[in-house]
Chains A and B, each alone.
Chain A
Amino acid sequence: MRKSLIIDGMAVLLATLLATFAFYGQALAKPALCQGDPGSLPVYVQDDSCPLTGSHNKAFFNEMNFVPGDSKISWVDIKNNSGQPQRATIKALDFSHPMAASDLARVLEISISLDGGNGRRTDIFGGPGAKKTLLQFFEAGEIHLSNIAPGKSNRYYLAVSFPSRLGNDWQGRTTDFSIIIGFPDNNNREVIVHGCLPGDKKQDKIAWSIPILRWLSPFGIFFRQAVAFHRN
């Protein structure tokens, strides 16, 4: 009996490994330079020739020695390979929460604009007429960039600037974050709660049905839990 259990366990382990290799084997077998499959949403950050995938990353910003008066522009090309019109959406992730008073995101300004061709840019978030801090970008949640027709690609600019009026209080400060880009699923609504652990209580206004509550712990571990809610 014990021998049978050991054999069964080894078989389960072997089968799991085989299934894993079967899933990733196709990608591994490809001689292509890029890693992973971007699926219906190829996203290229700046001059990276490979799209973002689960196995290929490119950060939007990696700035050292940023000083007042500096600005950095990053751009992203988003392509719609889904076969139907999509609403490109952007959202910040993995920023510190609660945010320290000294976090650089409180003072850095960000603007997001759409490249309209011929040097024209259309402000989507922030910009000269409506300046926004990085913190406001974090708190804004999903931001609709623009609609993208099937097979088409749009370029968007993300510009971060450090106002020159700021001084020594901000020496040596940092801010870190991730950016998620996607085509929204109109049937579901996800609420991400930061800095909580299972068992914590979080009250939020949820307008959509069937919410999925995602707990983002301080350790970066996701806990998914469907929750009931009632309409006010």
Chain B
Amino acid sequence: MVSNIKEIVAILLAAVMGWSVLFAASGASALFSSRTISTGSTISVGTLSFAATEARDESICAPTDEICWGGDINSRLNLTQTGSLDFNYSVAISNAASSPVGNAMDICDNLQVSDGKKIQTLKDYQSGASLFSATPVLNLAFHLVSDDRLLHDQTCDFDYVIGAWQANLPSGGSGFTNKYVIHASITSDPWVATPAPVVIMPTVSILNSRTADLTLAIDQFQATASTTVADDTGGAAVMAALSFQAVPPVLAPSEGTQAPQPVPETADKVVTPTDGAIDSQALTTPGVAAGE
């Protein structure tokens, strides 16, 4: 009987001890009369990292990876986020150098770059800021601004410098930044000499007038004609002195960018085949070539 009582006491004592151990493990404190703990607070910083590649469309030149007069190169810079953060970025071109060295005309000086928002010379190209998540691809078009033969068979080497910065901070400030550089080059293909002029002769009928002014707009060219009519019955003797004035493409103004360079004035009555679709059927009179 006594033994049984001892066993019961021992069992209860052991139970109390076990409970005490459990209670102690749950965290009693001598510092606080009451306390509670919030665990697991964590703050992790993101990473700003990206990669980029360039891809190009085929040009109309031969070979198709080269540029020629009238044959632009369309390029795409594809950015890929490799860090955890979205970011702003802009693209600049630097380290432009042509080869062979010593050409009278430098191809790097005669290339323009358009990104759909503005046109700049290659050496001065600097894109505006883009948010990666909204614009992961930057489209660029390279264009020769001269058809001079001195630009044949040259290569312009340059670097795309893609600078990135935190989406919530201004460019050039503090915070997280990153940079990615892609080397690229553009080689000129020897193109055929200046294409033969296309003669445009509007078909007009002018009656009962000694003189008339005619304005004709063809694509990006604006022609003004002053005509002299011999008499009412001599329609076949109409002579038109046409002068064509190139009209620069209308571009959206962009702050802090260089104004687009106008297309050089072309020679009188000369239109290149690349100047857009011209309805020659409607505008030419077979057998009559103005200015001849």
B174 touches A68 (CB 8 A): yes
A184 touches B32 (CB 8 A): yes
Chain A proximity of B108: nearest CB distance (Å)? 32
* Interface residues of chain B: helix, strand, loop or mixed (majority): mixed
Question: Hey, which chain B residues are within 8 Å of A61, CB to CB?
Answer: 41-43
Q: How far is the CA of A41 from the CA of B33 in the complex (A)?
A: 10
Known contacts A178-B37, A182-B34, A185-B33; A12 and B45 CB within 8 A of each other: no
B43 touches A174 (CB 8 A): yes
Is B166 part of the binding interface, using a Cβ–Cβ cutoff of 8 Å?
yes
Known contacts A8-B10, A68-B174, A164-B175; A190 and B40 CB within 8 A of each other: no
- Interface stretch (choices A25-33, A50-58, A194-202): A50-58
Known contacts A15-B12, A69-B166, A164-B169; A190 and B41 CB within 8 A of each other: no
B176 touches A189 (CB 8 A): no
- Name the contact of A212 in the complex, choosing from B30, B36, B48, B169 (C-beta under 8 A): B30
How big is the A interface, by class? 35 or more
Chain B proximity of A61: nearest CB distance (Å)? 4
* Interface residues of chain A: helix, strand, loop or mixed (majority): mixed
Q: How far is the CA of A93 from the CA of B27 in the complex (A)?
A: 13
Q: How far is the CA of A76 from the CA of B42 in the complex (A)?
A: 17
Chain B proximity of A76: nearest CB distance (Å)? 8
Is B289 part of the binding interface, using a Cβ–Cβ cutoff of 8 Å?
no
Q: How far is the CA of A107 from the CA of B254 in the complex (A)?
A: 39
Chain B proximity of A15: nearest CB distance (Å)? 4
Question: Hey, which chain A residues are within 8 Å of B22, CB to CB?
Answer: 20, 23
- Name the contact of A167 in the complex, choosing from B16, B34, B177 (C-beta under 8 A): B177
Residues of chain B in range 173-203 having any CB-CB distance to chain A below 8 Å: 173-178
Select the residue from B26, B35, B46, B47 with max chain A CB neighbours within 10 A.
B35
B19 touches A23 (CB 8 A): yes
Chain B proximity of A83: nearest CB distance (Å)? 11
Is A139 part of the binding interface, using a Cβ–Cβ cutoff of 8 Å?
no
B45 touches A174 (CB 8 A): yes
- Name the contact of A52 in the complex, choosing from B11, B19, B36, B41 (C-beta under 8 A): B36
Known contacts A8-B11, A67-B45; A58 and B174 CB within 8 A of each other: no
In order of increasing CB-CB distance, the 9 nearest A-B pairs are A182-B35, A182-B32, A65-B46, A190-B31, A15-B15, A16-B18, A41-B34, A68-B175, A188-B30
B interface residue numbers (CB < 8 A to A) = 7, 10-12, 14-16, 18-19, 22-24, 26-27, 29-48, 83-85, 166, 168-169, 173-178
Known: A19-B16, A64-B84, A184-B32. 4 other contacts (CB 8 A): A62-B40, A93-B37, A181-B38, A190-B31
A interface residue numbers (CB < 8 A to B) = 8, 11-12, 15-16, 18-20, 23, 38-41, 43, 45, 51-54, 57-70, 72, 76, 82, 86, 89, 93-94, 104, 108, 142, 160, 162, 164-168, 170-185, 188-190, 212, 222, 224
